[in-house]
Amino acid sequence: MPMPEMKQPDPIGQTVWDRVAESHQFKHLMATKRTFVIPAFVFFLTYYFLLPVLVGYAPNFMSIKIWGNVNIAYVFALSQFFMAWVVAALFIRASDNFDKLSKDIIEEALKSPDLKAEK
């Protein structure tokens, strides 16, 4: 049981959690998530921190005007918004697949004989 002091113990027992965690399907889900989340996280952090680093340490480069009075610094800052939206949109698209895999795992787990016995 997760928390002995809770009034209503969770109906799903440790054996079920362990079995699901070890299952091929679950490992596949985690691998699928990792292949999206880790590169996405590294990419957005790098892209974001390029801004303060360049602004702070390459101010002359960032001050180059590219359209009227608009300089690289402003365009790069503005591009961050679109970067964030694009990464979020890609994540939402990828997560449809995560949801599909999770649904199968939940269905499988709820069919489990241990679960019925414990209930």
Interface residues with another protein (CB under 8 A)? 2-3, 5-7, 10-12, 14, 17-18, 20-22, 26, 29-30, 33, 37, 40-41, 44-45, 48-49, 51-53, 55-57, 59, 62-63, 68-71, 73-74, 77-78, 80-81, 83-85, 87-89, 91-92, 95, 99, 102, 105-106, 109-110
Which is closer to another protein, CB of 81 or CB of 117? 81
- Give the integer Cα–Cα distance in Å for 62 and 68: 15
Cβ 110 to another protein shortest distance, Å: 8
Q: Are 1 and 9 in contact (CB under 8 A)?
A: yes
Tokens of 77: 């800052």
Amino acid identity at 98: F
Q: Give min distance, CB of 70 to another protein, in A.
A: 5
Nearest to 14 by CA among 3, 27, 2, 29: 2
